[in-house]
Structure 1
Amino acid sequence: MVSKVQSLKLDTSVWSNEILFIMLGNDRANEFWASRLSLSEELDCDATPEQRREFITQKYREGRFRRAHPGFGSQDELLKVRRRHSRTSPKNTDENFQKFWCTVDKSLLFYESDRCSDPSMQISVKDIVCLGVSRPDGSNNNNGFIDSRPEWEVISPSLVPLTLARPLQAFERVGLLRYKAMLDPQQWKEAYFVLQKSNLFICPGNDGAAEDIINLNRLQELSEYPGPVQNDSHDKKDILVLVEKGRTLHLQGMGRTDFSLWYSDIQRAAGGRGNTLREQQLSRNDIPIIVDSCIAFITQYGLGHEGIYRKNGAKSRIKLLMEEFRKDARNVKLRIGDHFIEDVTDVLKRFFREIDDPIFMADLHPLWKEAASDQRLDRYKEIIRSLPRVNRTTLAALISHLYRVQKCADLNQMCTKNLSLLFAPSLFQTDGKGEHEVKIMEDLIDNYLYVFDEHQTQIELEISLITTWKDTQLSQAGDLIIEVYLEMKIPDCCITLKVSPTMCAEELTNQVLYMRNVPAGDRDVWMTFEAIEDGQLERPLHPKEKVLEQALQWCKMADPSSAYLVVKRLHKHSYKSEIMKVGLLRCREEPPKLLQGNKFQERTFQIRDHKLLLLKDKKVRNLTGILRKIWTCDVKNTKRTDSSFSKTLGFAYFSTGSSSSMFKSSSSCAK
């Protein structure tokens, strides 16, 4: 007979970890969790997932079947337990930490007292890569901290060059980081960084480069992504990307710990947590992103919406959208299918009503009232010039938007008087009974071009385009009726048809041919072309390109009426002759997971017989009969889902020389 101990050691196929857990661990756990479980309450083997979920909730979360404490039935015992656990936990006082007498002289020296001559601990200043301000968030950590910030900020000048000593009066974090800019994207450099409120100071060190500053509220993007594996180790260091107007900066910590601290502090400083205009996340034009996004959305979809700004949205949706903007306005994308125009208009008014200081500024309120008299327009201009930059740019953007709204009053039924009555209480933060505030709003809207020194030409063109399309707008939001020409721009070849936001160029081409009963032969290719400057410049639209999305871009042109769409026929022989068959592409082969560092290289490619050929020598221009084929790729079977391949083709198509009829780069054409 084999003993149980020997059986456990030898017969591993029977005594697996799962069986041991069921027979020992699970039974012992159920002695506590299921000690009061009756047979009628046990879970049946054929129970549904909902019944199992309910049973698990009752068993573990509610503890309905667990074994009760022996003193549970005694009221006195329960009161004793409650008193014992209701005592407040001791706070972190000075007695909880070990005190040292410290000095700073190229090193941070710790002495047990001021009478000791030998330090008990020493930290070289060169070894300190990061110095930050600890916040009392209530979490326990193992990091040492100094309870007297003003006295110990003298450590920071020892960390950075003397040139940065002046702005270190009230920093959040200071230390050494690795960085690279897009001007030199291959080379990492080291510099000292200082985070002070929403400003990030950069001191490149001793290489003679000038100091720089980044306003984190003006960032267009703040993201994190894993970096490549380091050559000397298998550790990956994360990279923080800061994108602002005109430049992109990549930051990397000296280690994982300091990078996480930098990332959290920069994210907090760039979050626009304040409730004033200057503390908001700003666009590249120094306008709060919440204002810029709402105005852009309403301008695109709501100028013809009847009763705009007068009709109210749903309070629950408004509250949710407001919280999303407050949390991170950069990541809020307004879309017509997901958001309602009434909700966005209420969010815009609510934002101006709830900021701490009104956009017109409370201190200047008496000046605004005094200015509402003769020569008031010039006085308005003087007061506006005295506003802070963020207030000035935001006010200009809002009044410009309201000027466009009242210009479309025939469509939306919102005149200057109505808009002034709605916005004056929010912008001045009054009770809405002030006649002076309403009069000021009327003057600013009606005289926007004069007060803000704007040119009338561009605005009138945009408004003219909107009002011209007022009769073509259908009940189904987003659909428009536009004119498309067949082969040439003459009245007899004009076709009027409805274009939806989802219609692509291929669908438009097929619909035009169907309406004109034009057969599409096998030897001919029909395509939709976008023409501007009355046909002087043309480009073919990719079959999957959205037609309406491209047509709406015409309003940004100096003369939108000079642009139109035309469907043309390309004969097969002419179509083949115009294709760029040979050119340079930047490509690389995907390396195995164990090999890293493959870079993109310029190689010569040729398209022939539905094959993509990679040629041996990129310098040879005469390719006939002298270049050897390395590998081929069947173009017909290549999937369009490979975005990197499509973008590379787009770059090559544009760089190798395009037709004189092309007027803009389109990577989608290369796909």
Structure 2
Amino acid sequence: MVEIGNERSNQFWEKHCQQERLEAGVERDIRESFIRAKYQDRAWIPQPTGEDREALSKQLLVCVASNNLMRTIQLLVHGADVSYEDPNEPNPKLKTCLGVARHHKQTLQVELLEQNRALSSPKPVDIPQVVTKKGHLYKTGNDRTGWKRRWCTLDQFRGVEYFRSETDPDCQGDIKIHEMLSISLCDEEKDPKYPHCFELNTQSRGYLFCADSKAEMDDWIETLKKVIPRDGAEKLGFDKVGYLRKKDPHNVGGWKKRWFTLKGKSLVYYRREREELSEIDLKKVVELKPPDHVSGTPEALCCFQICLPDRVYTLRADTPAEAESWMQALRHTQVSGIPLSEQQTTSARIPIIVHKCLQFVETFGLEAQGIYRMSGNLAKIRRLILGFNQDARGFLINSEEYTVHDVAGVLKDFFKSLPDPLLTHSLYQDFVLVMKEAEHEQQLVQLKSLVEQLPPVNRETLKRIIGHLNRVIDHESKNKMGRTNLVSLFAPTLMTVNADAVSMQNAKYEFMCMDKMIQYYKWLFEVKDEEEAKEKELEEAKEKILRAAQQQKVVNVGMTSNMKFLNTIYILSRSGDTYGTYITPETSVGEIVEEVSTNKSLPPDHYALYLVIGEGDSYRVLSSSDRLLAALSSVGSECHLCLKPNAFYESIKPFMHQDGWESVQVHVREKKKWKRYPCAVRGKSFVQFKDNKCTNEVVRLAVSELDVFAGMEKAVRTDHKNPMPTRNFFWLKQTRGMRGHEDHTKYLCTDSEQDLQKLIAALVKAKYGPEGLQTPLLPTRPPPPELAVRRTTISVSPNTPKRHQFATASVQVSLCLFFNLHVTHYLFVLCRVFSPLQYTKW
């Protein structure tokens, strides 16, 4: 829709339209008639030139190889078969329209074809029925003192209207559809004479109605639920709003009706008059208990609990469906308990919490006796989950505070808390059936096919878990955990959500399935020799670190300016030359740029150091004054450094000397949806305004705490459900936490490249001053002898040590960082292993 646009679309749908176009404010009946004629009757489209369906389908086959989306739509509307197969095409991948579009990498054509599969069906399209209801209800006013009988009507266009009688032409009042937020039962307001009472809530007030019977009340509630907009809360800036009953801790069996609003990781509840009572900080949640886990109340199916370290909130909805809706919204604020598809993941599509827990266990716990069988400390497990909920990417597991059994407990709890198990509900019976009926060889073939049918995140996570279990088994002589032990622990955890509900007969086949996955891991997941070799080298490096720790017996060594860490700098690109150098907490970016450009004898240029995320999805140009180690630590492990000419500064240079920055229209990603706001840099702050008047601020962030990244993270860029509105994108990361905001990252798009450059230039100037990210012409001299000598003595290969290189401890650092065990995740290991003195000896 974005690619085609309204103008081009209307040129087709309204080509022969003789009547006037619709204007704002036109009556509903006229609007409905126009829209039905335009889309349902297709009254004004250009007619096909006599071709039959096969001819149109052949044209479609040719069209989808190009980017002409409008022509594809025309052919589909005129009757082309989206599933047509070319009988003369020998290549099976090019026989269908979908295959041709994929072959030519026409991603929007693929999307359009997949969305229109229904057009190939001979069944007529079902037109949804208009939602309407009429009848008598009792209504009370704002004072809630008296009830009056009113004739009420509801339809999905006009909303609710009420009259004195069925024949009265004068409407006494109405509630527009767009004003409706939620509907709830009434308890506190019940009058013995009017027991069947419900409340329709809007942003400004609640409307009380009462039916003659419970059945009539239920029918009104169900009908109203069909028309209440799902995005009503979102338009007010919330994730969810509505009435819930909160259990009174001071009154056994007592419930208080409260108005709740959910935004980010904050759940606030109010009295009826919307007077704020308290806030529940969802960052501190250690557990969310869904309805079927709550006992002791007659309304158990409608109840759920929010467990904090020091308090438990018991809440009750009107219906089980509403309770589940609230639970789903609350789960989205957590790492634990939300679907895998919505988790924060690494570039390898593995949830960050899983990645970090496995990394910790593989570094410290492969030889721990009873790993995964022994329980961890429950309080510490909850603290770990709390840390991941608050900031999964930035959270580090302290090896002195937590044991491997604590971390293993987090991993098991994470998989048990998933609403859909790792191997998915939809494929569960297929996995069991394969183990029941097939012969051994056929079992493996079908098992591999089922693994390939898993969603990408599930498949990659399963591969990582099974590979990890094999590494645990390799240390069975010390950890006493063989394949049988691990299968019995992980089969129910990965295949089902409620292991207690699985029959013993099925449990047997679950064990068989998991056992074969572990046994035939390399074949099932197509693990290549290079991948296996890399994993082996990685493990050897970790073992050397641990051996050094045991020999040194040094703990709690603080970070000092004398500590040095080996890091690799790529020259010009990831595929280019490399340079190994040591950095300390005090090393500046400018020092490294000068050292590398001089020692590598690069041609003179304005070089800059780029901090590149992933495979180049986005990057940040570092200032010469930035501390390099701090910059690396702020982004996590999936990054690398690249030295190349400062083209980034050249692109924003024309805007660096402008004074007084006007606002720019910016698309901001909020809760996975893009919204348009005016934004500007005012003084030393980045400001996001509510509207074009630029008077009401929505967000104000200190520029000094922001890092500006060009490009876009892969997960956002490839989100086809919520595509980016433009190609002019960048993102901001706040290094010290957004005050008043839970999301530490802002994803932004501008309408034009010039607006993008203006806004970035303003941010850079506010943070670094008028010179911004300008870099000097380097190198200015040939490499000095000491640098040349230094370069020859540093080897980034752990397999080719030199006698004169340096102390053993430094070799361990080289090993650790060479195998991509980056500073961010292993800093705490290094700080505890090596003393500051050893870093200065060489």
Superposition TM-score, scaled by structure 2 size: 0.35
Q: Which is greater in Rg?
A: 1
Q: Comparing both chains, which one has the higher relative contact order based on Cα–Cα distances under 8 Å and sequence gaps of 6 or more?
A: 2
